[in-house]
């Protein structure tokens, strides 16, 4: 009888061992929604920084989480689930929403792509907005959507005017997340492809957002 390779089995055991601790399982539950800074995790968990650091190290060593430096405040970092970290182990908690609202700074790339990708994955309505909207959708976003045959609506960037009852808000930009403190919802720390404005950067952002949406969409139900 064939079994999985020894190394794959060892990694799976390490993940289960890390998740056996209630505090670490709670951290991973939170990260299935989006990315958190250590300070935000401390606030959510009511946990001292030294204990949180211990748990985060254990989760990193098990290949469950990764760190990423904020593009806004360089002193801040965000903790995220490592790609493919759970592989069927994600919690089954559902979140009710009448609409999913994606927010970034200029509403010219990441949030536009996210709203369009959400429409492909879920029947729950989606839209996007920016805290400081640009003049037009970035050409790189238009090009990557075309390469992946994604219907990107031909609408100009719009300003975030407010949040409706029933909105599930997801910031896909560190600047927007750190500007909108207390908004709630989830945060995805997706690097800004316009910083380098290369095809590779837009492909990376597209893949990151697509992966996150495919993981989250089954857990959001219509309110």
Domain holding 179: CATH number? 3.40.50.2300
Nearest to 190 by CA among 87, 114, 115, 84: 114
Mean pLDDT of 95-122: 96
Taking alpha carbons only, the member of 149, 147, 138, 146 closest to residue 112 is 138
Residue 115 Cα distances to 69, 92, 100, 153, 189, angstroms: 25, 23, 8, 9, 16
Q: By the 8 A CB rule, do 215 and 90 touch?
A: yes
Position 56 pLDDT exceeds 50:
yes
Q: Does pLDDT of 1 surpass 80?
A: no
Instruction: Choose the final residue of a domain: 51, 81, 111.
Output: 81
State whether 105 and 50 are in the same domain. no
Q: What pLDDT digit, counting tens, does each position of 19-53 carry?
A: 999 999 999 999 999 999 999 999 999 999 999 99
- Domain that residue 156 falls in: 95-222
Q: Pull the structure tokens for residue 129.
A: 């907005």
Predicted TM-score (pTM) above 0.85: no
7 band by pLDDT with thresholds 50, 70 and 90: confident
| Percent of the chain topping pLDDT 70 | 95
Domain count, the chain: 2
Q: How far apart are CA 128 and CA 64, in angstroms?
A: 29
Q: Is residue 1 part of a domain?
A: no
How would you classify the pairing of strands 77-81 and 65-69? antiparallel
DSSP 149: T
Write down the pLDDT at residue 9: 80
Average pLDDT of the chain?
92
Q: 68 and 141: one domain? A: no
Neighbours of 190 (CB within 10 A): 26
Residue 203: which pLDDT band, with cuts at 50, 70 and 90? very high
Q: Write the pLDDT tens digit of every residue in 151-181.
A: 998 889 999 998 999 999 999 999 999 999 8
């Amino acid at each position: 009888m064939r079994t999985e390779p020894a190394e794959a089995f060892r990694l799976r055991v390490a993940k289960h061992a890390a998740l056996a601790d209630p505090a670490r399982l709670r951290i991973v539950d939170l990260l299935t929604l989006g990315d958190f800074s250590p300070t935000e995790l401390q606030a959510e968990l009511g946990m001292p920084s030294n204990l949180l650091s211990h748990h985060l190290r254990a989760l990193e060593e098990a290949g469950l989480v990764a760190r990423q430096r904020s593009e806004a405040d360089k002193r801040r970092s965000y903790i995220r689930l490592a790609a493919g970290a759970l592989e069927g182990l994600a919690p089954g908690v559902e979140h009710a929403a009448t609409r999913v609202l994606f927010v970034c700074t200029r509403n010219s790339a990441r949030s536009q792509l996210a709203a369009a990708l959400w429409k492909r994955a879920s029947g729950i309505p989606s839209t996007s907005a920016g805290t400081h909207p640009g003049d037009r959708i970035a050409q790189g976003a238009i090009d990557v959507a075309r390469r992946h045959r994604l219907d990107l609506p031909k609408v100009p960037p719009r300003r975030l005017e407010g949040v409706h009852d029933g909105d599930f808000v997801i910031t896909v930009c560190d600047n927007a997340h750190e500007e909108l403190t207390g908004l709630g919802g989830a945060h995805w720390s997706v690097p800004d492809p316009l910083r380098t404005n290369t095809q590779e950067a837009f492909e990376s952002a597209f893949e990151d957002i697509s992966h996150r949406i495919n993981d989250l969409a089954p857990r959001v139900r219509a309110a």
